[in-house]
Each structure stands twice: as C-alpha cells, then as structure tokens.
Structure 1
C-alpha cells in the first residue's frame, strides 16, 4: 500500500508537536509495509526521513495551463486577511518567514511550466502559501501512484482536497489541533472554515484524542461515524542521544517545554512556581520554548521576584531537549486546551514523572501521571512539591508510566491508521 501524505513541517524543521507526530506516523506506517511519500512546502535536504520519501512542493514543476486550477477556484473562496495567521510561529523567526517571493516560470519542449516558491513558515503570506500548496498538491497527485491521501492539520487540508479531486483517491484528514484549541473563543473564521471544509470533504477524520473527537463533532458538525480516535505515541530515543549529562546542581529541576502561548498555560506554571518558592527555595524552574507570550512571561517572573530561580533557554528540540529532560526531576504540562500533547510522553521516555492538565488528550492514555485542572495553581504547586520531594511517589510514577509508554508505540498506532486506509480503499 502507498500513501500520499501532506504536512506543513517535518523534523528536524519543526515548531512543535505537529512535525514530531508526522514523523512518528510516517515511521510507524513504514514499519507496517506502507510506503509514504511525504510532501512539505519546503524541503531543506536534511529531513529525518529514513525509509520515508520527502518531497518539497517548491521543487515540483507544474504544467501550464493547469487543468485543475479552475476546479480549485470552484472549490475554495480565497481572500487575504489584514493580520497574519501565525498558529505555530515565534517572534524570533517571524521576519524571516514573512519575506515575499515570486513565482518561477519557464518554457520547455512540453510547454510552459511554473514552480511556486515556499518559505514553509507561518508568516504574513501564510494563506497565500496554503493556496499555492493546494495547487501544487493537485499536480503531485497526477504524477504519482498511491492508494490514499492523508493530510495533517488545517494548513494541508486544501492540498488534500485538491489532490483527492485530481486523483479520485480517498482522503483522510488528521486533526492534531483545532482553532478552538489555539484561540479559545476568539477564533479566526478563515481558519475555522478551512478546517470544517477539510473535515466535510474527507472520507475519514482521525482525531488525536476523544477530547478532540468531541470538539470535531460538536463544534464542526461532523457526523460521529466519520470520526475515529487514534492516539499519538512517541518514537524510541536514538542511540546517539542515550549518553546524557547528569544534573550540574543540587536544586530540584521542574520543567515546562512547549510553545509559550495562552493555550499552553505558561502563566499558571509561573504562579505555581512562585507559591512553591515562598516556602521552599530548593527548586529551579525551566520554561523552554518560544511564542507570543515569552517576553510577558519573563516580565511576570521578574514581577513575582522569582527570576533568579527561573531559566528561559528558548525553543529546544532533538538532543537539546533530551539533555534538559535528563536533568529534570518533574515535567509539567499545564495546558488550558491540549488536543493530545506528545511532550509528556517524551519526558516519560527520558525517565521523568509528569504532571498534566485534565484539559489534555494525553491524560486519556496515562494513568500514572498526576492530573490537575490547568487554572488551579495551588493544586499544581502541591503536586510539583510532592512529586519532587517524596521519592516513593517519584519512583512509582516513573516506573509505571514507563510501562504505559512501552505499550504505546507508533508501529501499533500506525497499524490502526493502516486499517482506516484498507477500509476506505476496499469501499471507495
């Protein structure tokens, strides 16, 4: 079986859990004898591909006049918005990805061809790139043989719709997050409509948790029988990352890692830290990541007079993140709304017990984690202090959560995805 897969990012070029999940899914499918052609807007050349074939949409030549352009225009209403849509973007890289570029075209013996350039980022031209990605996807779908189309998150939904229309092959959309997770009640309607259209056009919708499945059914009016839940997993640690440093100081290290946005609850983490430090100074807190609230959180820690106990190392990935987790005593994910949350699984993989919010999808698969309500900073502080201070609880959660993690792997989860493919191809 062969799958044509579209996603906006692929490791090591990631902004969060989306790219990590895409690698895990593609790797798991390969282990289940499914050949994966993974299309990203921009290929960098050093992707962690393995047996997965990665193609950059910016490298694809499109014949002109292109037959599917008219069909695309009939399918979508395209308009520009005055404000940038930056769901996974950091202030540090906004200027780079916001640069404009021009379409390349040339004449060949077979007629005129064109090629769209892509930044692959989340800048002010994001919706334009989503549109061009969809056009390119339709061309790719006519140039390759495959059985099913699988797309990840709303940025790739238009590409999946057009690839399906061009090829006549079934479409699976994978919802890793919704606009309600990213924006709360203040949603961007253009993003919402793109998400809803993708789910309506799909032959099957995969949700990363029951929490997300309920949002898809209730907020997007998608028939329940169309939506299946397949939880995320985590890849094993690469051999080169297993030799990790010991902790360079005596204080207990409490770690938060993720996008520093409202969705992730960073302010609650800082408030809980302040409550602990009022009674016990034997702690250090790390907030790793970048996002639109980073500067505000640095200021908030200073305002609470706890900056000397806080570290803000920026966005970490790969070996850097593994090193941080290796010296951590407790990992905390206080998300306000988290469709799944792969990072707690990565912490458990590194031997760190976790505290997670009940507003997360990952709590559905972890029994041996302390669970809190995101805004309850007193409960969060008590859980952090207890887990870091009492060795018996620490050892119990570390041991049992590792056993849970061993039963949750991408090969197993990808098997369920393959079953979705087989059902669709047998009835399409």
Structure 2
C-alpha cells in the first residue's frame, strides 16, 4: 500500500532541533524509500538546499544518506521546538515572550497550511508542537487522517511545573488525531495521566539507531572522564550535573567532567563552573557535531544523563554504542531498552554520584554493563521504526 504522506517536520538536524531533528530526519529518510511523501519544515532551522516556495526539489541532509528523492517544501521560520526553559525571571517578561512565541507559531502555521493546500496527500504526519496547529487546520479543511509523532511534551520541558498554552495545544491535537506515536512507554504514561489521552490510540515506537564504528583517539586526560551530552536547559539537568560532579570528585579525586551542548543555561553554567571547587576539572565544550561527539564518547568512562524528564534520549544509545557505561535518570525512555544501565532519581545528586562512583570503582561492573548495553541495541535500526510508523498510518486510513 503506497500511502501519500504529508510530513510536517521540525527542521533538519541542527543545534536548534536537537534530537528531535535527528530522529525525524532518520525516519523521513527511511520512509522515503517506501512511500511517496512531501516534507514541509522550517528552512532556517535545517540544512536544506535553498528554496523559497512550494516546489518539488531533491535535497539531502548533511549527515544522512537519502537513497531516493524527497519532495520538500521549505518554509521561512525562526521557530524552535525548544524555546522556553529559561525564558525570563519575571512574569511580565514571561508574558511578552509567550505572546512573541504565539505570534511566531501563528505565522509559521499560516505558511504550513498554505503549502499543505498545494500538496496531494492521503495522511498528515506531524512531529511535535510547532506543527500541531497547522496539522489541526489541514485536517479540518481536508478531512484526512492525522498521525502525531510526539518526541517531547510541554510537560517534559517544564518537568510538570505548570501547564501552558502549548500544553493545551498538545492536548487538543492528541485528542483530535486518529493515532499518536509515543517514543517510550514512559512518554505514553505521561500522555495518559497528564493529558487524559486514551491509551488505545497511543502507539509506542522506539527510536532506531545508526550503528557506527568506535572512534579511536589518544586520550589527553589521565583522570577518569564523566560525560554529559545534551541541550543545556532545565529539563536536561545540567546544573544538577555540576552538583553531581562535585560529589563524585570529593570521593574520587582522579576524575574529570565534560559537558557537551548548548542552550539557555550555557552562560550560567560557565559562571557556576568557574566558581566551583572543581573548576579545573570541569569543562563545557558548547555545541559539537557528531564527529567531535564521537571523540568525547571515546575518552569517556561514564555517561551521565540527569534529566528530570527524558521521553527517550538518543545520546544514551550513542554512548552505549561507544562502549561507555551509563547512569540514566529513572525518568528516561531509553532505559526501557538499556535495561542494565544504572538508574538514579531525578534531582537526587547523591543517588547519581553513588551510581557513578560504583562504575568508576568497579571495572567488572562497568564491563558487564557495556556488554549488556551493546547486545540491547545491536538490532535497533531506523528502518524498523519506519515500518512501525507505516503500520500505524495504514491502520487509520
């Protein structure tokens, strides 16, 4: 069955789209081998060839291999799916930023809907909140089935502190859609308990994984390296990582700590790190491309993910592939696949530090976890994930 898909995406992989852009790009690549599709996404967030209107073009993502042509519509936009973790310190500024964001979404939606009206499609397939408003309008106009792929929720980004208009948009979209894809059982549980979505319409489809050869590099450090990779926002727990690092160093001085990523808390972390007792052992690299990240994985002795709410966590798979033992948040979807990874309680620095110390002090435990993790991910691939997406799509036609 060749279903014509209209895919509303977040933009190709970049520092703005983070894991969302990477996962969507991999899925689109695989889906393009099996189905006719048109991809509509923001131009300025991606790495697409330059085009300014709704024309069919061949394109390629810089770090992915696309084996056949994609029909793409590139939209001018500066909207990011990750926008508001650390917006401001005052309610007045928060309202101003929220209104600005709402206006950006409205403008983006108008362009998406205009492009969508010119495209022949059987099913709408929308990724995350920045596309949901347009998806709802296109569904209302054309009466076509709607499939949502939810990579991250407002609940995750605010780690349950408050409900915004984005929460309401997500809830309405999930209620309206014929089917919703969650990227983990953990995320599905949030959809049911916090958003009130019926369990029967939610399908768990795990991310795939791109297997790579392990990078070899001369380690410039003699100490054991504890690594954090991710967006520097409240959701990911980067400030928590600094506290964890201080506790680990206190008991294990032969250690060093590296943070790779960019985000709202970058400057705050620079200042906090410089003022810490471990300033000489705490490094922040900023955003790194995949090649540079592989070099970091190659020298790491422990990977730490202290997220308060992590729907999946692609970097956990990358670290596991690189044979780095893991300490993950208990609120992490990837832990459902990496069942031998050590888990710690979000916000509990002592719990994380103890788990890291156990790995650093016990090579046998570290080696056993690495072996188990590799076995857990060896059969993961994006082709299988795409097949599962198509199965859900065809079930609602």
Q: Per the shorter chain, which TM-score range?
A: 0.7 to 0.9
The 3-state SS of whatever aligns with 2:251 is coil
For residue 302 of structure 2, the aligned residue among 316, 330, 338 is 330
Q: For the residues of structure 1 that align with 2:351 and 2:265, how far apart are their CA atoms?
A: 23
Q: For the residues of structure 1 that align with 2:225 and 2:71, how far apart are their CA atoms?
A: 39
Corresponding residue number in structure 1 for 2:205? 230
Segments of 5+ residues of structure 2 without an aligned counterpart are: 50-60, 86-96
| TM superposition score normalised by structure 2 | 0.85
1:363–1:184 Cα change, 3 Å = same
Per the TM alignment, residue 357 of structure 1 is displaced from its structure 2 partner at its CA by 0.8
Per the TM alignment, residue 165 of structure 1 is displaced from its structure 2 partner at its CA by 2.9
Determine if the alignment matches structure 1 residue 168 to structure 2 residue 186: no
Corresponding residue number in structure 2 for 1:108? none
Equivalent residue runs for 1:365-384 within 5 Å: 365-384=337-356
Q: For the residues of structure 2 that align with 1:330 and 1:386, how far apart are their CA atoms?
A: 10
Per the TM alignment, residue 186 of structure 1 is displaced from its structure 2 partner at its CA by 3.7
Corresponding residue number in structure 2 for 1:278? 250
Corresponding residue number in structure 2 for 1:363? 335
Q: For the residues of structure 1 that align with 2:215 and 2:244, how far apart are their CA atoms?
A: 32
Deviations 1:219-241 (A, max 9, x none): 2222222212112222233x7xx
Deviations 1:17-56 (A, max 9, x none): 111111122233235x123322112154353462344321
Return the index of the structure with the highest Cα Rg: 1
For residue 88 of structure 1, the aligned residue among 82, 95, 100 is 82
Corresponding residue number in structure 2 for 1:404? 376
Equivalent residue runs for 1:10-409 within 5 Å: 10-12=12-14, 14-31=16-33, 33-42=34-43, 44-45=47-48, 47-48=61-62, 50=66, 51=68, 52-58=70-76, 88-89=82-83, 125-187=100-162, 189-237=164-212, 243-409=215-381
Q: CA RMSD in A?
A: 2.7
Deviations 1:301-335 (A, max 9, x none): 34431110000011223212222212211111011
1:128–1:8 Cα change, 3 Å = farther
Q: For the residues of structure 1 that align with 2:348 and 2:164, how far apart are their CA atoms?
A: 31
1:236–1:39 Cα change, 3 Å = farther
Corresponding residue number in structure 2 for 1:81? none
Q: For the residues of structure 1 that align with 2:37 and 2:324, how far apart are their CA atoms?
A: 33
Corresponding residue number in structure 2 for 1:422? 394
Deviations 1:392-426 (A, max 9, x none): 2222111221111112221112211111011112x
- 2:127, 2:148 within 8 Å by CA — same for their partners in 1? yes
| TM superposition score normalised by structure 1 | 0.79
Q: For the residues of structure 2 that align with 1:344 and 1:151, how far apart are their CA atoms?
A: 25
Segments of 5+ residues of structure 1 without an aligned counterpart are: 60-83, 92-121
Per the TM alignment, residue 208 of structure 1 is displaced from its structure 2 partner at its CA by 1.2
Q: For the residues of structure 2 that align with 1:209 and 1:291, how far apart are their CA atoms?
A: 24
- 1:179, 1:187 within 8 Å by CA — same for their partners in 2? no
Corresponding residue number in structure 2 for 1:62? none
The 3-state SS of whatever aligns with 1:40 is strand
Q: For the residues of structure 1 that align with 2:249 and 2:215, how far apart are their CA atoms?
A: 32
Q: For the residues of structure 2 that align with 1:11 and 1:364, how far apart are their CA atoms?
A: 25
Q: For the residues of structure 1 that align with 2:215 and 2:312, how far apart are their CA atoms?
A: 29
- 2:215, 2:298 within 8 Å by CA — same for their partners in 1? no
Q: For the residues of structure 1 that align with 2:112 and 2:267, how far apart are their CA atoms?
A: 38
